[in-house]
């Protein structure tokens, strides 16, 4: 490639990514040359500011038409824009949490904390924008590898090490499966460009090749389910969530999961929605594989919600709850209705708010004692009524009670399930039944907070960063629950992602 | 009155009290109780105002409010109103009657809340939130809004039972949560299927669509005949949990026994009635044809409820349990009236809803008064109460008489009309059901007479009779019960229009 062509690209559409990359690089350099005894809090604010600037630059990019650069490997369409908002907002909040993270034994590698979050974020953003299997995979690996290190950041902590190990091994296996699936696609089409792939796949009418493609689809989905923390690759979540530093857990459950859904939507819809199956009988490979994915979604919801019932460790409980939510989100995906992207986007926003809020409070509650037992929450209402009310809001939203963002998110997913013909009654029934089951463990936390006497009487103080996160998330959860049209109006400017295929 | 905001004001005025309470220090017991009580008054005032105006011929439909709220997916290829859920409030005669009932009982329950012993601030905040939910349920014009208000009652109730209840309160709260959670879940499915398939959740619009084949052809996806039956049965289950219909009732017994009496007043007086309200408004309103085919089944369910409740009430030792089973039994009469599916039957059902709301609130108010003084509600530990607390004993007797259907009191009118309806359609089932009426007299008299005139098993020295501030709501409740008993038109008139609409839906 000549320099001239290189310069002709509209690099402007990559500004948010460049900002994140630049900040991450500068941070790593500063961290290297900074005396080790110096407080690294400032670096956190710098990272936070970087993410905020990237967010603002993304707002500036909103009116930009669909553009793709670097031979169609990087594309900025409305789908990428919409989901990058979630990724950036999630990362910003997580960095705030990381600044106030004070584990019992102290943390030596605070600088790494911030720039690894940024590189992971960069990977996720590349995934949102990629138009090619190669960039997509590189983004995925950048996210994964940064996450592996982050999980094991508490170097002297046994559980942290254990979970990092488990995360790497599981991640490795799932990546291999994903790649294997991609290799089938590459073998059948001879290209890695998504647009070309879609074009060539739609011409395949040979039953034998379609069989291979169906296999590839399933392998891709199974491999990617690692990032979603959904069945069959959900087993890592409880151990890793429990052992990882809390801000990292929050990151995995929100940003990493969002990235997972981004890539699933992008790959599956792009490559397989126009591919014929069963000769030429069925118009879409994706629709013909619907039942398999629906089964996985159902299994995810059931596994997540029923095993969560038995947990006394709140972090572990939230891990299973996170699996369950991945299942709900998959219902939004698998019904393939006209609400598919809208409902997943809204639910991810709601999930970001309620889950990060819950993790923020959990982090402060468990920092000091290093115990995550549910009894830590006993009598929180008497110690700090406002914190208890905020936690109550997050829990109610996770349970999907009206008046919160979680409810509207669920309603939209259900609408998607019922609007298609034939409607997905079974899947919807599983979702609603498991939601009722989830009341039991969610309300268990409420019972501890409001009904039980307090063990400790001292009021709980929230550090500044955590306080910002809690207030932001609580307000957001309520506002999106009562006036969801704010979010939907924002979403409407993308016109249902009509430029997805262009 | 300002018609634009009237209903919103009516529904959300308890919010003022919640905000005011937030600024009161939590140790100011008297202040908090006063604010809690005062905050129920604006709604009561608005409700009575609307009721009086309506009786003098005011057109209630002009109170309708509509503001755009949520729009799921603005698709260009769809009508711009498809998948919109607006903030729509509006009432008819039936809803108005229910709102009046709710506001009256809420005010009286606030009086009964003087017996609450701890954390008054949290209690009254949740209490007022509960009132908003109950009022909203009756004022909602679309199903999604109805559901949201319906769920708003769920959370405060969970806390009110679990924190301020008696010994096994947490278990009762969980039982309440899970049963009603399942009920709400089923209801949510019905609502969202309707919304997804028709594109609207407005009740009036849905009725129109169901009556108009041309409109059905334009739906997102068809609603088949089987699906309609499925939806109606799902509604029956969802509201059957709330009502409750045997065998979905076990949670309700726990709540009646474990929750504080002031909350049971609202629970038994209003919340259970939401089940009946929903069945009539949605089950009967949206699926009249299918409802007709299930009518006999519903009548049988009603008789089962009536007899099951009555027989079990007979062997209970806890007075609260007697009342709980009595509630089940009396809700059977609602089902019997609905099962008859003629004008008398439906009118009887609605009458029973209102009448039992007043009577059970009265009885549970007295239970609260009683427990406060003698610390038990066990029938074998009470007895001879008439000597120590003559007034209370008298009221108890009056409540029991109303409940067993003594002519001249509201219970008689409603039971009589409901059975009149069923005898016209299905005399055999009605005759079996009539046994329940006799049983009612037996178990109520057994319980109340033992408590008031039986052998005194304990020393009542120092036990005070009902105080003036407590007696006032009781007098008023008794007066209302008698008023409906002697002049049923006070209810029949406002309900006339609603009944006509229902009968039209049924095809005359």
Tens-place pLDDT, residues A305-349: 999 999 888 999 999 999 999 999 999 999 888 888 889 999 999
- Answer yes or no: are the C-beta atoms of A113 and A146 closer than 8 Å: no
Q: How far is B386 from chain A (nearest CA, A)?
A: 38
- Answer yes or no: are the C-beta atoms of A174 and A228 closer than 8 Å: no
Residues of A in contact with B174 (CB under 8 A): 440, 443
Residues of A in contact with B196 (CB under 8 A): 414-419, 423
Q: How far apart are CA A251 and CA A230, in angstroms?
A: 16
With CB atoms and an 8 Å threshold, state whether A439 touches B181: yes
pLDDT of residue B2: 59
H/E element holding B70?
A: strand B65-71
Q: Where would I find the H helices in A290-420?
A: 290-308, 314-334, 340-367, 380-383, 385-399, 405-419
With CB atoms and an 8 Å threshold, state whether A492 touches B151: no
With CB atoms and an 8 Å threshold, state whether A414 touches B152: no
**The residue count for chain B:** 508
Q: How far apart are CA A172 and CA A230, in angstroms?
A: 16
With CB atoms and an 8 Å threshold, state whether A451 touches B170: yes
The verdict on A403 touching B (C-beta cutoff 8 Å) is yes
Does residue A465 register a pLDDT over 60? Answer: yes
The verdict on A435 touching B (C-beta cutoff 8 Å) is yes
The verdict on A109 touching B (C-beta cutoff 8 Å) is no
The verdict on A423 touching B (C-beta cutoff 8 Å) is yes
What is the average per-residue pLDDT within A346-368?
Answer: 90
The verdict on A396 touching B (C-beta cutoff 8 Å) is yes
Q: How far apart are CA A227 and CA A263, in angstroms?
A: 9
- Answer yes or no: are the C-beta atoms of B348 and B416 closer than 8 Å: yes
Task: Say how many C-beta atoms besides its own lie within 10 A of residue B247's C-beta.
Answer: 10
pLDDT tens digits, one per residue of B131-179: 999 999 999 988 999 999 999 999 999 999 999 998 889 999 999 999 9
pLDDT tens digits, one per residue of B99-118: 999 999 999 999 999 888 88
Q: How far is B311 from chain A (nearest CA, A)?
A: 33
Residue A488: which of B72, B155, B162 has the nearest Cβ? B72
**Banded pLDDT at B75 (limits 50, 70, 90):** confident
pLDDT of residue B117: 85
Q: At a CB cut-off of 8 Å and minimum separation 6, what does B347 contact?
A: B337, B417, B421, B492, B495, B499
- Answer yes or no: are the C-beta atoms of B365 and B261 closer than 8 Å: yes
* High-pLDDT (> 90) share of chain A, %: 40
With CB atoms and an 8 Å threshold, state whether B185 touches A436: yes
Mean pLDDT of chain B: 89
DSSP A65: P
pLDDT of residue B385: 82
**Banded pLDDT at B11 (limits 50, 70, 90):** very high
- Answer yes or no: are the C-beta atoms of B201 and B194 closer than 8 Å: yes
Sequence spans of domains, chain B? 1-286, 289-508
Does residue B309 register a pLDDT over 90? Answer: yes
Q: Rounded to a whole number, what is the largest CA-CA distance in chain A?
A: 71
pLDDT of residue A282: 65
With CB atoms and an 8 Å threshold, state whether A414 touches B189: yes
For chain B, list residues whose CB is within 8 angstroms of any CB belonging to chain A: 68-76, 83, 144, 147-148, 151-152, 154-155, 158-159, 162-163, 170, 174, 177-178, 181-182, 185-186, 188-189, 192-193, 195-197, 220-222
Q: Where would I find the H helices in A368-460?
A: 380-383, 385-399, 405-419, 425-451
With CB atoms and an 8 Å threshold, state whether A440 touches B178: yes
With CA atoms as reference, the chain A residue closest to B161 would be A451
Q: How far apart are CA B345 and CA B347, in angstroms?
A: 5
Residue B192: which of A402, A411, A440 has the nearest Cβ? A411
With CA atoms as reference, the chain A residue closest to B187 would be A432
- Answer yes or no: are the C-beta atoms of A358 and A391 closer than 8 Å: yes
Residue A484: which of B70, B152, B154 has the nearest Cβ? B70
**Banded pLDDT at B79 (limits 50, 70, 90):** confident
* CA atoms within 13 Å, Cβ hemisphere of B279: 33
Residue A338: which of B73, B186, B193 has the nearest Cβ? B73
Strands (E) located in A128-281? none
Residue B148: which of A402, A435, A492 has the nearest Cβ? A402
């Amino acid at each position: 490639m000549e320099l001239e062509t290189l310069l002709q690209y509209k690099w402007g559409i990559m500004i948010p990514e460049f900002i994140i990359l630049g900040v991450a690089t500068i941070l790593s350099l500063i961290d290297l040359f900074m005396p080790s005894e110096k407080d690294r809090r400032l670096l956190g604010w710098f990272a936070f500011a970087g993410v905020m600037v990237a967010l603002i630059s993304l707002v500036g990019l909103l009116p930009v038409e669909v553009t793709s650069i670097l031979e169609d490997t990087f594309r900025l369409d409305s789908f990428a824009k919409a989901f990058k908002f979630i990724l950036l907002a999630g990362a910003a909040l997580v960095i705030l949490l990381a600044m106030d993270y004070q584990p019992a034994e102290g943390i030596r590698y605070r600088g790494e904390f911030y720039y690894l979050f940024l590189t992971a974020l960069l990977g996720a953003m590349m995934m949102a924008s990629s138009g090619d299997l190669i960039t997509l995979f590189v983004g995925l690996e950048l996210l994964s590898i940064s996450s592996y290190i982050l999980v094991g950041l508490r170097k002297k902590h046994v559980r942290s090490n254990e979970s990092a190990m488990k995360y790497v091994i599981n991640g490795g296996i799932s990546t291999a499966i994903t790649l294997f699936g991609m290799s089938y696609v590459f073998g059948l089409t001879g290209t890695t460009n998504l647009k070309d792939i879609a074009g060539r796949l739609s011409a395949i009418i040979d039953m034998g090749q379609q069989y291979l493609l169906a296999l590839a689809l399933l392998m891709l989905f199974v491999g990617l389910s690692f990032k979603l923390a959904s069945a069959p690759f959900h087993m890592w979540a409880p151990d890793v969530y429990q052992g990882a530093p809390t801000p990292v857990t929050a990151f995995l459950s929100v940003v990493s999961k969002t990235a997972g859904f981004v890539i699933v939507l992008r790959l599956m819809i792009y490559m397989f929605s126009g591919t014929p199956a069963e000769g030429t009988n069925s118009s879409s490979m994706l629709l013909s594989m619907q039942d398999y994915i629906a089964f996985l979604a159902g299994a995810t919801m059931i596994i997540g919600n029923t095993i969560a019932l038995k947990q006394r460790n709140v972090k572990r409980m939230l891990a299973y709850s996170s699996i369950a939510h991945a299942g709900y989100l998959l219902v939004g995906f698998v019904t393939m209705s006209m609400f598919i992207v809208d409902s997943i986007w809204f639910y991810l926003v709601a999930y970001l708010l309620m889950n990060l809020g819950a993790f923020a409070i959990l982090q402060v509650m468990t920092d000091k004692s290093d115990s995550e037992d549910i009894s830590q929450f006993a009598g929180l209402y008497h110690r700090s009524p406002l914190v208890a009310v905020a936690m109550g809001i997050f829990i109610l939203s996770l349970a999907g009670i009206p008046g919160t963002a979680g409810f509207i998110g669920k309603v939209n997913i259900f609408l998607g399930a019922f609007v298609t013909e034939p409607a997905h009654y079974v899947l919807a029934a599983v979702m609603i039944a498991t939601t009722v089951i989830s009341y039991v463990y969610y309300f268990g936390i409420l019972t501890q907070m409001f009904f039980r006497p307090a063990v400790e009487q001292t009021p709980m103080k929230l550090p500044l960063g955590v306080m910002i996160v809690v207030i932001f998330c609580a307000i957001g959860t309520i506002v999106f629950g009562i006036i969801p049209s704010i979010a939907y109006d924002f979403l409407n400017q993308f016109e249902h992602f009509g430029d997805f295929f262009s | 009155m300002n018609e634009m905001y009237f209903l919103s004001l009516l529904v959300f005025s308890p919010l003022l009290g919640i905000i005011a309470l937030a600024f009161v220090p939590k140790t100011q017991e008297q202040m908090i109780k006063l604010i809690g009580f005062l905050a129920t008054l604006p709604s009561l005032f608005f409700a009575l105002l609307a009721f009086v105006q309506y009786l003098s011929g005011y057109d209630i439909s002009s109170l309708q409010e509509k503001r755009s709220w949520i729009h799921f997916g603005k698709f260009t290829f769809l009508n711009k109103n498809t998948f919109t859920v607006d903030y729509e409030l509006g009432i008819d005669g039936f809803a108005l009657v229910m709102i009046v009932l709710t506001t009256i009982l809420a005010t009286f329950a606030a009086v009964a809340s003087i017996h609450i012993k701890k954390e008054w601030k949290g209690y009254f905040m949740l209490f007022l939130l509960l009132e908003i939910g109950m009022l909203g349920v009756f004022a909602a014009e679309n199903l999604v809004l109805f559901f949201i208000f319906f769920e708003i009652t769920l959370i405060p109730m969970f806390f009110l039972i679990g924190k301020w209840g008696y010994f096994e309160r947490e278990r009762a709260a969980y039982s309440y949560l899970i049963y009603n959670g399942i009920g709400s879940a089923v209801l949510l499915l019905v609502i969202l299927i309707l919304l997804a398939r028709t594109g609207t959740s407005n009740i009036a619009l849905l009725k129109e669509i169901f009556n108009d084949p041309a409109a059905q052809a334009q739906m997102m996806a068809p609603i088949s005949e089987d699906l309609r039956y499925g939806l109606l049965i799902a509604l029956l289950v969802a509201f059957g949990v709330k009502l409750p219909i045997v065998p979905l009732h076990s949670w309700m017994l726990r709540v009646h026994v474990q929750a504080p009496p002031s909350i049971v007043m609202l629970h038994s007086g209003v919340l259970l009635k939401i089940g009946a309200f929903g069945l009539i408004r949605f089950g009967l309103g949206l699926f009249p044809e299918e409802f007709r085919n299930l009518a006999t089944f519903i009548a049988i369910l009603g008789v089962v409820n009536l007899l099951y409740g009555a027989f079990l009430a007979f062997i209970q030792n806890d007075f609260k349990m007697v009342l709980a089973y009595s509630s089940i039994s009396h809700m059977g009469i609602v089902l019997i009236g609905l099962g008859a599916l003629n004008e008398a039957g439906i009118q009887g059902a609605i009458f029973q809803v209102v009448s039992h709301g007043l009577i059970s609130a009265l009885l549970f108010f007295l239970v609260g008064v009683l427990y406060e003084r003698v610390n038990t509600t066990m029938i074998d530990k009470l007895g001879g109460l008439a000597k120590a607390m003559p007034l209370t004993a008298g009221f108890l007797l009056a409540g029991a008489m109303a409940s067993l259907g003594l002519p001249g009191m509201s219970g008689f009118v409603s039971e009589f009309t409901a059975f009149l309806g069923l005898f016209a359609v299905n005399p055999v089932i009605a005759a079996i059901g009539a046994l329940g009426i006799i049983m009612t007299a037996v178990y109520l008299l057994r319980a109340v007479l033992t408590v008031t005139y039986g052998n005194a098993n304990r020393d009542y020295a120092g036990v005070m009779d009902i105080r003036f501030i407590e007696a006032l709501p009781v007098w008023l409740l008794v007066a209302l019960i008698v008023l409906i008993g002697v002049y049923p038109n006070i209810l029949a008139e406002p309900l006339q229009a609603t009944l006509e609409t229902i009968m039209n839906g049924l095809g005359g």
